[in-house]
Structure 1
Amino acid sequence: MAIDAKLVKELREKTGAGMMDCKKALTETDGNIDKAIDLLREKGIAKAAKKSDRIAAEGLAQIKVAGNAAVIAEVNSETDFVAKNELFTNLIDTILNHLIEAKPASVEESLDQPLQGAGQTLGETINEAIAKIGEKISLRRFQIVEKADNEVFGAYLHMGGRIAVLTKLAGQDEEAAKDIAMHVAAVNPRYATTDQVSQEEIAHEKEVLTQQALNEGKPANIVEKMVEGRLNKFLQEICLVEQPFVKDPDQKVKKFLSDKGLAIQTFVRYEVGEGMEKRSENFAEEVQAQLKN
C-alpha cells in the first residue's frame, strides 16, 4: 500500500527513527502506526529513539583524505568513555568513508543514503551502533573539501580528535599545511584573511571601538587614530594570516606562507561539543534518575 507522508512524519516524531526506517516499518505493517512502533522497537531502532532527548556533547572529530577530496566530520556520543570504544571509532571510519564516496549535501541526506555493500542506510547503521553501545550517537556535522592538483591538504587532530582542523593551501608543501592546521587548532582564528571579514562586521566593530574611546574621555581629534589602531589589532586577532605563527611567534603566518610560496585557501576547524549544552547532572542525580525509570 502507498504510505502517506504525514503518517511517516508522525511515526518519525513519535520514535525519532529515520525517515526510511519509518517508511519501511509502516509498509511492513500496512500503515498501522502502533505496530510500526513495535516493529522499530524489535529492530532496536526504538531503543535508539528513546535516547534521542539525551545530550550527546562528547565524541570525536575526524578527517579523511582521499586524493583530491577530504572530509572533516564530528560524531557525538554522550560520554568520553564511549568515544574511545572500538565500536564507536569503527563507526566513524564507516561514516567518513561513506561521506567521501557519496558526497551528500547535508547530514539529513547522508542518513537516508544506502551504504555501499551494506544493504542498509547510514542512519540504520548508526542506529544499530546505538543499540549495541547503549548511548545516543549522532553525526552532528561534516564538510567536504575538494582541491586542485596544485593545492595541498593539511590535517591535524588534537587530543586524538577533540579538535580537528583541515586546511587547503595553494602549493605543494604538506608539512607546512599541517603546521597551519596545528596553528588553527591552537589559536582558533575566525577567518583566513582580512578580505573575508564583512564590511558590516568591520563597521560594527569600529562603532564599538569609537564609543569605547569616547567613554575613556579621549579628545575627539585623536579618537580616529586610536580606533584605527585598535581595529587593526582586532583584525590581527581574528584573521589567520595576521596572527603570530605558533611555531615561530616572531613572524606572522602570512610571512611563513610567503617564504614557502604558499597561500591559504580555506580551513575548517571542529571542536567537539562547541556550542552545545553539556550535561550538568552529578553522579548521584544520575543514579536517582535511573532508579525512577
Structure 2
Amino acid sequence: MANFTLEDVKSLRERLGTGMVDTKNALVEADGDVEKAVEILRLKGAKGNAKRADRSTSEGLVAARETDGATTLIELACETDFVAKNDKFVALGEKVLDAIAAAGAGSLEEALAAPAEGGTVAQLIDDQAATIGEKIELRRVAVVKGENSAVYLHRTSKDLPPQIGVVLGYSGEDAETARSIAQHISFADPQYISREDVPADAVENERRIVEEISRNEGKPEAALPKIVEGRLGAFFKQVALLEQDYARDNKLAVRKVLSDAGLTVSGFARFKVGA
C-alpha cells in the first residue's frame, strides 16, 4: 500500500488545485513521495495543455495595477466560470499582473516574455493550466499613461472576479469625477477619446453607408448633406467618449462633465472578459 494519508491528498489538492482522483493516482504512482507526485501531475497536465490548445476561453478575469505614471490592465481567460472563481486562478491573475507591470510590458508578446517566478509569464500560465486542467491564456494587455489614473473593475456576478475593467488616464484633481467617467466607459464602451481620433477611413465608410441608407429612404437630394451629417453625429456619439451622453445624466455630454471638473483625458482602455 502506498505510503500516504488522506491528509496528504487534501494538502496536495489545495496546493495544486488538482482533482481528487488525479491527485490520489499521482501519490500512488509516486509511492507517497509528494514532490514526485507534483512532478507527475505537472507532466500529465503539460501534455493536456497541447490537447486543450484549440478550446475556447470565454471566462476569466480582468485586473489592473498602477505603477509610476502608468497603469496596466490585463485579461486572463479560462474555459469555465468554475475555474474563473477558483482562488488559484485569481491568485495566478495577480502574479501575472505583478510580473507584467514590473517589466513595464506594453504588448502581449512582451507580457508573455516577462520574468515570473524563475521563468516567464507564459511558462507560469502553462504550469498553472497543467495543474488546474483547463486552457488558460493571457488574452490582452494594455498600458495607460497619464498624470493620474482612475480604475474601475465591474463584477457582473458576485460569485466571479471582475469581468469588465477600465483604466482612465487623465490630468486634473477631481478623482471622484474621473472614476465616474471610468464607470461610464465600462457601460458605454467608446472606442476613441474624440471624434478627431476616429480614423478617416472609418468616418468615410460610415458616411457612405448613411448616405446610401438616406437615399434608399427617399430623402430629398438637396437635404442629404444635412441628414448625413446628422447621422454621422450619432455615429460619433457611439464611438467617441467626449461626444457621448454622460451615463449619470444624459442631458450632459461627457465633454462638458470633464470640462466642468477640470479634467483632460490622456487615454483609456476597456476590457470585457470574452468580448
Q: Counterpart of 2:152?
A: 156
Q: Distance in 2 between matches of 1:43 and 1:79?
A: 20
- Give the secondary-structure state (helix, strand or coil) at the position aligned to 1:175: helix
Kindly provide the CA deviation profile for residues 4-36 of structure 1, in whole angstroms up to 9, marking residues without a partner as x. Answer: xxxxxxxxxxxxxxxxxxxxxxxxxxxxxxxxx
The runs of 5 or more residues in structure 2 that have no matched partner are 1-39, 156-160
Q: Distance in 1 between matches of 2:266 and 2:115?
A: 33
Kindly provide the CA deviation profile for residues 22-54 of structure 1, in whole angstroms up to 9, marking residues without a partner as x. Answer: xxxxxxxxxxxxxxxxx9973742232222121
Q: How does 1:174-189 map to 2 (within 5 A)?
A: 174-189=175-190
Q: Counterpart of 2:252?
A: 251
Q: Distance in 2 between matches of 1:146 and 1:225?
A: 38
Q: How does 1:77-88 map to 2 (within 5 A)?
A: 77-88=78-89
Q: Counterpart of 1:261?
A: 262
Q: Distance in 2 between matches of 1:253 and 1:190?
A: 14
Residue 125 of structure 2 is aligned to residue 126 of structure 1: yes
Identical amino acids, percent of aligned pairs: 38
Q: Counterpart of 1:144?
A: 143
- Give the secondary-structure state (helix, strand or coil) at the position aligned to 2:269: strand
* TM-score, with structure 1 as normaliser: 0.74
Q: Distance in 1 between matches of 2:112 and 2:44?
A: 17
Q: Distance in 2 between matches of 1:107 and 1:86?
A: 24
Q: Distance in 1 between matches of 2:200 and 2:127?
A: 48
Superposition deviation, residue 119 in structure 1: 2.1
Which amino acid is the alignment partner of residue 65 of structure 2?
K
* Alignment RMSD (CA, Å): 1.9
Q: Distance in 2 between matches of 1:177 and 1:252?
A: 14
**Contact 2:62 2:271 survives alignment (8 Å):** yes
- Farther-moved stretch of structure 1 (248-257 vs 101-110): 101-110
**Contact 2:144 2:267 survives alignment (8 Å):** no
Q: Distance in 2 between matches of 1:202 and 1:131?
A: 46
**Contact 2:42 2:130 survives alignment (8 Å):** no
Q: How does 1:186-265 map to 2 (within 5 A)?
A: 186-265=187-266
**Contact 1:74 1:141 survives alignment (8 Å):** yes
Q: Distance in 2 between matches of 1:110 and 1:234?
A: 34
Q: How does 1:92-107 map to 2 (within 5 A)?
A: 92-107=93-108
* TM-score, with structure 2 as normaliser: 0.79
**Contact 1:152 1:177 survives alignment (8 Å):** no
Superposition deviation, residue 234 in structure 1: 1.6
**Contact 2:59 2:78 survives alignment (8 Å):** yes
The 1:236–1:110 alpha-carbon spacing in structure 2 relative to 1, beyond 3 Å, is closer
Superposition deviation, residue 58 in structure 1: 0.8
**Contact 1:40 1:46 survives alignment (8 Å):** no
